[in-house]
Amino acid sequence: MKPAVLTRYRVMAYVTGVWLLLLCLCMVFKYGFDMGATLTLYVSQLHGLFYMIYLVTAFDLSMKMKWPVGRMLAIMLAGTLPGASFVAERKVVESVRENGRAAEPVQA
Q: What digits encode the pLDDT tens for the residues 20-66?
A: 999 999 999 999 999 999 999 999 999 999 999 999 999 999 999 99
Calculate the alpha carbon distances from 41 to 22, 36, 48, 108 in Å.
12, 9, 11, 46
If one counts every other C-beta atom within 10 angstroms of the C-beta of residue 55, the result is: 16
Per-residue confidence (pLDDT) for residue 106, from 0 to 100 = 43
Q: Contact, 89 vs 13, CB < 8 A?
A: yes
Considering the entire predicted model, what is its pTM? 0.85
pLDDT score recorded for residue 2: 79
How far apart, in Å, do the first and last CA atoms of the chain sit? 21
